[in-house]
């Protein structure tokens, strides 16, 4: 009996690191595949092994660095790792391995927990039907799929998404997902998306504890034939409970989106709770019709924060909080703090650098907008715009610089409860201008008087107008160059506002 126990213990110790499977174009699918000297040759051989034997804690699939592999790698209900011993899919040797997926998905992770994917280059065909990396939940369960990490991967040219984490409208999706130092570009529908399914009237957020950090999502154009849903976003979290987007850059996305119901945004969240977006940059995002903005808290966000972000030269709003008819949740207790919007809201678009909106049947409650710098582009209608119905918000300690011929703040709609407290304003022509209900021009918000009687939609106190003397000279650099190294993390108060050129470079 003692001998049997010892042998069992020895077996556990020997197997604690799992098995390594090597793949190289110089190998053979008839080889054992368990060493660099005797590797398998193809992804099909790996797929057959995983389908038959699964992945176990500590197992790894090693693709030869610098090599090109044709086809798709499929991990479908394959067991997976555990927290202390995740399974791995990665490159070995010099440089990343490349998967040429053609019209399909390069790497599919379906219903399999605790997997780390790292150091891969994924290429697709935009005329196909694939994603770069797709994490799929296809069955209903009370237990989430845990522990997916995607590190230092590059996904481009796919018809759908560079990286997609999808709950397929299930009530339980993925938990503890980290996407770090990845680049997604030229994918038609989106760069990085964590999606909860968005059924109308849902009462669940399927994903939790999602982190996206130090990623770049650029030039994902959108699908012009998709007229029912948005496309062309850089980074989107939908249906997430507790999340973080940090140190990311989204640029040049959305140029081909033609959906008139709502379009792409560089970095945004939807129907999510307790998510923070911070230290990110979003610029030169666009749309042929609607949106194309920098940052957005949209469609039922609760207790979420935009802070220390830099938005510039976007077609749509730089900073936005918005909800719509039929949103699953009410927007409440969100914050937009210490951000910069620079030249957002293209002339003729009707968008402002900072925009808050609520459609009929929706409402926004407890929104705080504090310590932001908004600089409107030339010919902009307004630097700040509040529109729609039933918005309760406090705008405090913001510095708003309007266009020569545009309004500083435009307010329209019904049933609002807005408070403007200690904000500072400036227009280059030296004359203050505020707009109410798209037709009444007034010199200060506090001077508004409704001819029909007292107007309780908004109140203003301690507002001031004067040249702030900011020395900011940031050119329109196009989509190729990031400006964020020149813009510090803005923690400004009102004693002194540090300007980018004075404070010196600081990366997010």
Q: Which of 169, 385, 412 is nearest to 271 (CA)?
A: 169
Q: Which helix (H) or strand (E) holds 500?
A: helix 500-503
Same domain, 453 and 359: yes
Would residue 273 count as lying in a domain?
Answer: yes
Q: Are 135 and 209 contained in the same domain?
A: no
How far apart, in whole angstroms, are the C-alpha atoms of residue 389 and residue 359? 6
Token pair in block for residue 473: 């000279």
**Are residues 45 and 194 located together in one domain of the fold?**
no
Beta bridge partners of 425: 400, 465
Mean pLDDT, contiguous 10-residue spans, the chain (508 residues): 42 63 97 97 98 97 98 97 98 97 97 98 94 94 94 97 90 95 96 82 84 97 76 93 96 85 89 95 89 92 95 95 87 95 90 95 94 92 95 96 93 96 92 93 89 81 86 48 42 34 28
**Which CATH number covers residue 464?**
2.160.20
The two three-digit tokens of residue 71, written as one number: 């086809």
User: What per-residue confidence (pLDDT) applies to 199?
Assistant: 57
Are 133 and 196 contained in the same domain?
no
How much is the pLDDT for 141?
Answer: 86
Domain hosting 398: range is: 188-503
Give the model confidence (pLDDT) of 162-182 as tens digits: 999 999 778 889 999 999 999
Q: Please tell me the predicted confidence (pLDDT) of residue 182.
A: 98
Considering the domain architecture, whether residues 209 and 98 belong to the same structural domain is answered as: no
Number of independent structural domains in the chain: 2
* Measured CA distances, 169 to 174, 207, 227, 300, 332 (Å): 12, 11, 21, 16, 23
Cβ-contact 109, 143 below 8 angstroms: no
**428 and 488 share one domain:** yes
* 117/198 same-domain check: no
Do residue 453 and residue 381 come from a single domain? yes
What are the residues whose beta carbons fall under 8 Å from the beta carbon of 20, sequence distance 6 or more? 34, 35, 59, 60, 62
CB 278 within 8 A of CB 304: no
Q: Are residues 202 and 261 in the same domain?
A: yes
- Residue 12, pLDDT score: 41
- In terms of residues, how long is the chain? 508
Residue 431 · residue 404 · CB < 8 Å:
no
* Residue 107: alpha-carbon gap to chain centroid: 21
Residue 26 in domain: yes
pLDDT score, position 397: 94
Residue 173: inside a domain, yes or no? no
Tally of CB atoms within 10 A around 261? 12
Same domain membership, residue 111 and residue 39: yes
| Cβ 316 vs Cβ 291: under 8 Å | yes
Residue 176 lies in a domain: no
Residue 148 placed within a domain: no
For 309-327, give one letter per residue: b (16+ CB within 10 A) or e: bbbbbbbbbbbbbbbbeeb
- What's the pLDDT at 201? 55
The verdict on 202 and 267 lying in the same domain is yes
Does any domain span residue 169?
no
137 with 205, same domain?
Answer: no
Q: Is residue 147 part of a domain?
A: no
In a domain? residue 344: yes
């Amino acid at each position: 009996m003692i001998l049997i126990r010892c042998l069992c213990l020895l077996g556990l110790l020997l197997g604690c690191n799992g098995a390594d499977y090597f793949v190289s174009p110089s190998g053979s699918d008839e080889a054992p595949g368990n060493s660099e000297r005797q590797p398998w040759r193809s992804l099909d051989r790996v797929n057959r092994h995983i389908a038959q034997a699964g992945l176990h804690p500590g197992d790894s699939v090693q693709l030869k660095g610098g090599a090109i592999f044709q086809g798709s790698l499929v991990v479908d209900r394959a067991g997976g790792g555990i927290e202390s011993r995740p399974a791995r899919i990665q490159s070995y040797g010099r440089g990343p391995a490349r998967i040429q997926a053609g019209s399909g998905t390069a790497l599919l992770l379906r219903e399999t927990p605790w997997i780390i994917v790292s150091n891969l280059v994924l290429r697709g065909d935009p005329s196909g039907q694939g994603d770069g990396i797709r994490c799929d939940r296809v069955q209903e369960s009370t237990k989430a799929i845990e522990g997916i990490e995607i590190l230092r991967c590059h996904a481009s040219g796919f018809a759908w998404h560079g990286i997609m984490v999808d709950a397929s409208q299930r009530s339980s999706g993925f938990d503890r997902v980290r996407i770090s130092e990845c680049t997604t570009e030229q994918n038609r529908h989106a760069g990085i998306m964590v999606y909860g399914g968005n059924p109308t009237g849902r009462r669940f957020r399927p994903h939790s504890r999602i982190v996206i950090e130090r990623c770049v999502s650029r030039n994902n154009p959108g699908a012009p034939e998709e007229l029912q849903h948005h496309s062309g976003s850089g980074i989107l979290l939908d249906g997430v409970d507790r999340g973080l987007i940090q140190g990311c850059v989204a640029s040049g996305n959305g140029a081909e989106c033609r959906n008139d119901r709502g379009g792409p945004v560089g970095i945004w969240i939807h129907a999510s709770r307790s998510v923070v977006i911070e230290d990110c940059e979003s610029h030169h995002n666009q749309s042929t019709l609607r949106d194309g903005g920098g940052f957005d808290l949209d469609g039922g966000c609760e207790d979420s924060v935009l802070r220390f972000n830099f938005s510039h030269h976007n077609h749509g709003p730089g900073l936005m909080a918005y909800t719509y008819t039929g949103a699953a949740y009410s927007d409440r207790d969100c914050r937009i703090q210490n951000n910069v919007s620079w030249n957002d809201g293209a002339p003729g678009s009707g968008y402002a650098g900072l925009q808050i909106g609520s459609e009929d049947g929706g409402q926004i409650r407890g929104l705080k907008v504090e310590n932001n710098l908004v600089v409107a582009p030339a010919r902009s209608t307004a630097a700040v715009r509040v529109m729609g119905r039933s918005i309760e918000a406090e705008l405090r300690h913001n510095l708003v610089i309007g266009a020569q011929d545009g309004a500083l703040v435009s307010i329209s709609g019904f049933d609002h409860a807005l408070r403007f407290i200690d904000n500072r304003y400036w227009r280059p022509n030296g004359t203050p201008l505020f707009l109410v209900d798209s037709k009444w021009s007034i010199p200060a918000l506090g001077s508004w008087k409704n001819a029909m009687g007292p107007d309780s939609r908004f109140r203003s106190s301690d507002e001031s107008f004067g040249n702030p003397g900011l020395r900011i000279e940031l050119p329109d650099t196009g989509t190729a160059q990031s400006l964020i190294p020149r813009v510090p993390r803005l923690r400004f108060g009102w004693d002194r506002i540090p300007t980018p050129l004075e404070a010196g470079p600081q990366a997010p």
